[in-house]
Amino acid sequence: MTSKLFYFAFPILLLLLPFFDSPSLAQTPSNNPISPGTICNSTLDPSYCKSVLPNRHQNVYDFGRNSVRQSLSQSRKFLSLINKYLKKQSSLTPSAIGALQDCYFLATLNMEFLTSSLQTVSNTNQELPSSQADDVQTLLSAILTNEQTCLDGLQSTASAWSVRNGLSFPLSNDTKLYSVSLALFTRGWVPKKKRATWKPTEQQQLFRHPRLPLKMSSKTRAVYETVSRKKLLQNVGGEVEVSDIVVVSQDGSGNFTTINDAVAAAPNNTKGNNGYFLIYVTAGVYEEYVSIAKNKNYLMMIGEGINQTIITGNRNVVDGWTTFNSATFAVVAPNFVAVNITIRNTAGAVKHQAVALRNGADLSTFYSCSFEGFQDTLYTHSLRQFYSGCDVYGTVDFIFGNAAAVFQNCNLYPRLPMAGQFNALTAQGRTDPNQNTGISIQNCNIRATNDLASANITIQTYLGRPWKEYSRTVYMQSFMDSSINPAGWSAWSGDFALSTLYYAEYNNTGPGSNTSNRVTWPGYRVINATDAANFTVSSFLLGDNWIPQTGVSYTSGLI
C-alpha cells in the first residue's frame, strides 16, 4: 500500500465514539433549531464546518441536507478539474496519468454516491431504519475513502508533483466537507439505539455444504451440470436464483475463452429480480486482468476450485502501477459473488505493493476462494464485504483497505517476506471516526506458511498496524499460531494513531493469542462478548439482510 506521506490533520474532540456529541447537543432534539456553532461541535473540524454552513439557526436535518448538496456540487467541480489535467497527458508521465485516472474513476463514484445520499436525506426529517441508514452511511464513508485513495496515489507518484500541488488543496477542502456531511448524517439520521444481535437458526449454523444450491431453468441447469460434472443438491441453505449461465473454457468448448469477454456479455444494471448472471470458469490458468464494472451487478462467478481455476497477473508499484490499479482482479459491481477461484499476483516480494484482489463492490461475497501475493495481497477498498472459507497469503499489510469487511472461517497465511521486512496481517485505513468501516476476523486460522515457519532467521509477524488515523481491526474466536509476535500489533510511525485506533481481541486461541504481553496503546483493548457482538456479520454488516440470497454459509452472531 502507499506510504503515509500526507494526512489531513483534524482537531480531535473525542476519540473512539461513532460520532461526536457535546452534552448540550446530545440533549437537543434533532428537529429543534440550533446554531451552526452548536451543530459543528459534532464534527471533526468545527471551524471549517462553521465556514460552510448557513449562519442561521436550523435543525440538524436542514444543516445535513445543505452539507450533502455542497458536497455533490464540489464533487462535480473536482471531477472537472481532474479532467482538465488528463487533457494535458502529453506533458505528464505514465505514472502521473495512472494516478489521475484512478482519481477520475473514484470521483465519478463519489458523484453517484452523493446523488443517492441526497435523495435519501431530502425525503425525511427523522431517524432512518437501520438498514437504510447503514446504506447511506456506507456510501458517505466510501466517499472519504475514495478521496484518500486519490491522494495516496498522487502522493506516491514522485513525477506527479505538479499535479499533486494543484489537487492537494481541493482534495483537502473536499475531504473536510465530506467529513461534515458524514458527521451530520450520523447525528441526524442514524439510529442511536444499539442494533440487536440476531441469533442464527440451527439450519443457518449447519449450512456448510461445499456447493451452492442453485435454482435455474432446466436448460441452464443442464449446462451447469455438464460443465461442472456435479449434481446440484438441495440442502438447508435454500436456493440461489440464477437467470442465465455462460461458460468460460480455454479449450474453446464453452461460450468464451476469456473471463473478461464473459463479463462483457453479462447484462447491465439488473435489479436481481431474476437472480444472478452466472459465469462458470472451468479449470485453467487465466493470465488476464479482470475488471468488473459497477453496472455488472448481480454477477456470480464460480470456478472449479482453489488452485484449479486460477486468475493471475503481476502488476506492481515498482513497475509503475498505482497500488489501486495493480490488482489482478478488480470489482466494483454491487452484489458480486465469487466461489471456488484462486486470484494471484505473482510480482513477488521484491516488487512491493502488488494487489491480487481489489474489492470495492458493495454487498459482495467471496466463498471458498484463495488470494495469493506478498505485500498488499487483498485490498478491501470500500463498502460492505464478506469472506467465508477463503485463504489469504501475504507478507506486509496483506489485508488492507477501508471497507466494512468480515472474514469468517478463513485461513490467513503469513509467508516469508524480503530480508529486512516484517509481516503485518492487516493495515486498516479508516480516516474518520464516523465511518462504519473496519476489519473483523472471526473463527479464522492464522498459521505461518512452511517457508516462514522453517526459516532460520527471525521474522516478526503482527496482527496489524494502523495505516490511517482511526484504523479499526478486531480478531475474535480465531486460532493464532506461534508466529504472532507477543506484542500482537505494530506501530506505523512513532505514536501515529495509537490513541485513535481501535484494535481489539476476543476469545482467541492458540500460542499466539496470549494477550499478557500485548501493546499498551490507548486504542488497544481486550473486549467482552457484548462488544465483540458489534463486529459480527449481523451487527457490523447487517448481513442477515443480504448474505442469505447468495447461498453462502455464515454464522450471524458469535460462535
Catalytic residues: 397
Angstrom distance (rounded) from CA 42 to CA 45: 9
C-alpha cell at 47: 471551524
Beta-strand (E) ranges in 143-227? Answer: 214-215
| Residues 160 and 96: beta-carbon distance below 8 Å | yes
Is the CB of residue 16 less than 8 Å from the CB of residue 433?
Answer: yes
- Across 178-239, the runs of DSSP E, i.e. the strands, are 214-215
| DSSP-assigned states of every residue in 435-492 | ---EEEEES-EE---HHHHT-SS---EESB--SSTT-EEEEES-EE-TTB-TT-B--S
DSSP H helices in 218-366: 218-228, 259-265
CA 22 to chain centre: 30
Strands, DSSP E only, in 249-390? 276-281, 284-286, 290-292, 299-302, 309-313, 329-331, 337-339, 342-345, 357-359, 364-367, 370-372, 378-380, 384-388
Using CA atoms, how far apart are residues 537 and 301, in angstroms rounded to an integer?
22
Is the backbone of residue 415 left (phi > 0), alpha (psi -120 to 50) or beta?
beta
Q: Which helix (H) or strand (E) covers residue 374, if one does? A: none
